[in-house]
Amino acid sequence: MMISLAAAVYGEPGSHPGELLAAEVTEARHTVEDHLLDHAVIVRFGGDGRAAARLTFLATYLHQHRERDLAWWRMSERLLPRLAVPAFALLLGLVMMVLGALLTPPVAALLGETDGGTDESLAAGGVAGGAFAVLFVLTWYAVPTRLPG
């Protein structure tokens, strides 16, 4: 396999297979293989670096999750920052708190209750917003992800 890879890498006119004989490359067999693999991406996809960057990202992703096969359908849940869901839930909880604080006095007036004040409406909104945020986070992390197909 390495011979066919060397032929693909150094088969173009103007390439110099003498690089493989350099002292820093020929220290061990795996350094020659690494050198050929590094150049194979450039030969196959061009030298602009986009393909190498994307392949490096995928290799790093697989290494971090200790996997050999790329399960593309799991990438979105793993690439989402850990604090994104709680931060979003907190934001929605704050919105619910404000809505609860604003809507509690009119609802209390409709029901004929006049002893409720701003503190009580803020407390009711806070409880509603906090409960919503906690339920949102629990639901998000409790629901198993569906596999494709």
Q: What's the pLDDT score for residue 118?
A: 67
Q: What's the pLDDT score for residue 21?
A: 72
Please give the Cα distance from 17 to 26 (Å, whole number).
12
Q: What's the pLDDT score for residue 117?
A: 66
Please give the Cα distance from 3 to 8 (Å, whole number).
9
Q: What is the pLDDT along the chain (149 residues), one digit of tens a residue?
A: 777 888 877 877 777 777 777 756 667 777 778 878 877 877 777 777 788 888 888 989 899 888 899 888 878 777 777 778 888 888 888 888 888 778 777 777 787 776 656 677 777 778 888 888 888 888 877 776 655 54
Q: What's the pLDDT score for residue 116?
A: 59
Say whether 78 sits in a helix, a strand or coil.
Answer: helix
Domain map (residue ranges) of the chain: 2-70, 79-142
Q: What's the pLDDT score for residue 130?
A: 85
Prediction pTM value: 0.44
